[in-house]
Amino acid sequence: MKKTKSDSKQKQIWRNLRRALRYLKPYWHFELVALFCAIVTAFLALVSPWVNKLIIDDVIINKDAKMLWIACLIFVVSAALEAIFSTLRGYLFTYIGERAVIDMRHQLFGHLQQLSLAFFNKEKTGKLMSIFTNDVPAMQGLYTSTLVDFITDTLRFIVTMGVMLKIDWQLTLLALPVLPLFGVALKLFSKPVREVSRKVQDKSAEISENLQESISGAREVKAFTQERNEINRLLNIFRQLLGLRVKQSILHSSSGGIAELTAVSGVMFVLWYGGMKAINGAMQMGVLIAFVNYLGTLFNPIGRYMELNNRIQGAMGAAERVFEFLNTVPEISDKANAVALPPVRGCVQFENVHFAYEKDNDVLTGINFEVDSGEMIAFVGPSGSGKTTLVNLIPRFFDPTFGRILIDGYDLKDVKMQSLRQQISVVFQDSFLFGTTVRENIRFGKRDATDEEVTTAAQAANAHEFIMQLPKGYDTEVGERGVKLSGGQKQRLSIARTILRNPKILILDEATSALDSESELLVKEALEKLMEGRTSFVIAHRLSTVLRADRIVVLNDSEISEVGSHEELLAKDEIYRKLYEVQLGGMIQSAAPREEVNGSQEATL
């Protein structure tokens, strides 16, 4: 059983290596040129020992000055050519490797964009960031220096072995018995190096996670005076990483030491046997010196294989994490035969919809209702009753576990998500702004919008006036997550980009609940313009917003308990009336006119 598990792990490593190397496939023509340069470099590296042999055995003994000049010229020319081809080889392999890494990052980011919201709810931001900032760079060396060294050293080994066999096959065979020791050392160190490398990557990801949390929660850290605890928490992780790095270094050094000792043993045998032959006159001194030089050329690549193996195992530790991420299957994706959703009127239908984030724990149960085009629906209910979950099903942020949702008769699962979401916009309670300009944040709703369209949208959202008061107007940087703007200003920019998008279906998820009265009034005016002629789903605690709805849907215990207008629901004297009475705090007349509660009141549902 243990053997089977080990074999399975080894197969997975080879699969990961092959998968990693597939990123090089588009650049095969560059690889051929680089390989040619590597072959030329391998042959040129053999010229120097041969020139040394020529000078010792022929030039010096025969006192041939002309041959000395020729030997020196050969030496200089070969060294120059080796430098040229080596530089070209290094450039090409580096270019290929960098292109492969760009392709990998492109695939990773593309895959990240395809994953559903459920994935982001489960995974930590720091962990995902670490894949890009730690794991990909750890694999980068595989495509550049590691690949270059492996190919070059392998070619040098093959060519040098051929030359050595031609010079003296007996001496060559004497050196060969030490080669299996390199193989044993490689096998001995591969697993522990790979495992500790994986732990290093995991610990680096943990550091990224904690740093991201600490930075994002800087306000809470300072408010609760937890600076020292945060420092100690990170310091503890840094120390754990240090321990892993030390262990990694010990493994690398030990493998290098074994390689060096093995190489010295081989050279020792050759020197002893070759020296005896030279003493007995059976071998020229120049030949022996050249052979020893070639032996060094032979053992150097083998010794470097230990270091290359360490690099490869380190890259495979990172590759495991990268490919685990790429193997993540999006929970929501287009069917193979999905069609583009044509422009819709905005009729929405829920048919016996059930939903659960976790198995056997339904958040929504048996949801049935229809919405006509242009109708405004308000959702109310106790906290945790499933209001936000319900509206998140409309743009397919999540899929029902049972039942179906239709828009203009199209089942959402039968249409392409992009064509669906292009006709829906969501305004959240805390809208996200990107750390760029006001203009670009509004243009996020429509990338090809003109400056005039951006300005018109801002005016409709009651945002133009405050934008013009900013230092650079529409070209003002808003800071990370819009930190330079107030909550009301951020909401109005969010509404402006929604207006620019011009959706047929609108979802407002407590869009005004966190605003002060003045900001709320401006945002509400903008929202009223936005909702005109659009099918709107509103989650709101403000009574004034709920009163304007065509129908109110009351959710309780994961089910729809009531549906009707404000007056109808008050007359039923059930959950809605109780919520209304508790949060308004007073005597309620069952047919209270809408004008009695205006936008400035703080009554909530």
DSSP character string of 81-102: HHHHHHHHHHHHHHHHHHHHHH
Residue 572 has pLDDT above 50, yes or no: yes
- pTM assigned to the model: 0.74
State the pLDDT at residue 408. Answer: 93
Please compute the mean of the pLDDT values over residues 292-317 and round it to a whole number.
Answer: 75
Inter-residue long-range contacts of 594-597, CB under 8 Å, 24+ positions, other chains counted? 594/547, 594/548, 594/566, 597/543, 597/544, 597/547
Secondary structure of residue 224 in the 3-state scheme:
coil
Across residues 485-500, what is the average pLDDT? 85
pLDDT of the residue at 60: 65
308 vs 350: CA distance, rounded Å: 59
In sequence order, the 6+-apart residues with CB closer than 8 A to the CB of 596 are: none
* pLDDT tier at 251, thresholds 50, 70, 90: confident
Note the pLDDT of residue 3: 55
pLDDT on residue 599: 39
Structure tokens that stand for 159 in this block: 């060519």
Q: What is the pLDDT of residues 463-485, one digit of tens each?
A: 888 889 989 998 998 888 788 88
The closest alpha carbon to 192, from 31, 316, 283, 277, belongs to: 316
Which CB contacts under 8 angstroms, 24+ apart, belong to 237-240? Answer: 237/203, 237/206, 237/207, 237/210, 238/207, 240/203
Residue 398 phi, psi dihedral angles, 5° rounding: -140, 160
- 572 part of a folded domain: no
Cα–Cα distance, 42 to 292 (Å, whole number): 17
CA distances from 605 to 136, 279, 509, 544, 584 (A): 49, 104, 14, 10, 8
Between strands 535-539 and 505-509, the pairing is parallel
Residue 10 predicted with pLDDT over 60: yes
Please state the three-class secondary structure of 408-443 as a single string: CCEEHHHECHHHHHCCEEEECCCCCCCCCEHHHHHH
User: pLDDT grade, residue 6 (50/70/90)?
Assistant: low
Query: What pLDDT score does 594 carry?
Result: 41
| Average pLDDT over all residues of the chain | 80
pLDDT band per the 50, 70, 90 thresholds, residue 4: low
Cβ(355)–Cβ(235) below 8 Å: no
Q: Which residue carries 């659009």 as its tokens?
A: 534
Percentages (nearest 5) of helix, strand, coil residues in the chain: 65, 10, 20
| Percent over 90 (pLDDT), the chain | 13
Q: What is the pLDDT of residue 253?
A: 76
In a domain, 7, yes or no: no
State the Cα–Cα distance between residues 374 and 365, nearest whole angstrom: 26
Q: Is 565 exposed, middle or buried (0-12, 13-18, 19+ CB in 10 A)?
A: middle
Judged against a pLDDT cut of 90, whether residue 394 lies above it is answered with yes
HSE value, Cβ hemisphere, 13 Å, CA-based, for 121: 8
- In angstroms, the CA 108 to CA 232 distance is 33
Say how far apart CA 117 and CA 104 lie, in whole Å: 23
Which is more confidently placed, 401 or 214?
Answer: 401
Mean predicted confidence (pLDDT) in 579-592: 56
Report the candidate in 331, 326, 369 with the shortest Cα–Cα distance to residue 136: 326
Alpha-carbon distance 505 to 373, whole Å?
A: 9
Over residues 340-345, mean pLDDT: 92
- Residue 598 has what pLDDT? 42
Spatial distance between the Cα atoms of 439 and 456, rounded to a whole number of angstroms? 12
Looking at residue 557, its pLDDT comes to 85
Q: Number of helices (H) and strands (E) in the chain: give both, helices first.
A: 24, 10
Q: Mean pLDDT lowest for which of 290-294, 313-317, 427-431, 572-576?
A: 290-294
Q: What is the mean pLDDT of residues 558-569?
A: 88
Least Cα distance to 545 among 533, 534, 559, 531 occurs for 531
* Segment 19-46 mean pLDDT: 85
Q: Is residue 301 part of a domain?
A: yes
pLDDT on residue 177: 72
Strand partners for 379: 539, 553
Rounded to a whole number, what is the distance in angstroms from the first to the last CA of the chain?
Answer: 61
**How many angstroms separate the Cα of 235 from the Cα of each of 58, 64, 131, 207, 230?**
66, 70, 22, 10, 8
pLDDT at 326: 92
At position 530, the amino acid (one-letter code) is L
Query: Would you say residue 160 lies in a domain?
Result: yes
C-alpha dist (Å) from residue 167 to 50, 284, 289, 318: 11, 11, 12, 44
Average pLDDT (269-289) is 72
pLDDT at 342 over 90: yes
Give yes or no for a contact between 189 and 255, defined as CB atoms under 8 angstroms apart.
yes
Q: Give residue-wise pLDDT tens across range 220-230.
A: 777 777 788 88
530 domain-assigned: no
| pLDDT score of 104 more than 50 | yes
Sign for the CA dihedral angle at 444, 445, 451, 455 comes to: negative
Q: Which has the closest alpha carbon to 270: 173, 179, 156?
A: 173
pLDDT at 332: 87
**568 in a domain, yes or no?**
no
Q: Which domain holds residue 193?
A: 16-326
Give the lowest-confidence range in 136-145, 185-194, 362-371, 447-456: 185-194
Rounded to an integer, the average pLDDT of 490-507 is 87
Q: Number of folded domains in the chain? A: 1
Banded model confidence at residue 199, pLDDT cuts 50, 70, 90: confident
CATH of the domain at 189: 1.20.1560.10
Give the pLDDT score at 542: 66
Residue 511 has a pLDDT of 64
**Does any domain span residue 461?**
no
- The predicted pLDDT at position 519 comes to 66
Is pLDDT of 534 > 60? yes
What average pLDDT does this structure show over 244-248?
84
Residue 139: HSE in the Cβ half-sphere, 13 Å Cα cutoff: 30
Residue in this structure with the two tokens 């230990």, named with its chain if needed: 306
Residue 586, domain member (yes or no)? no
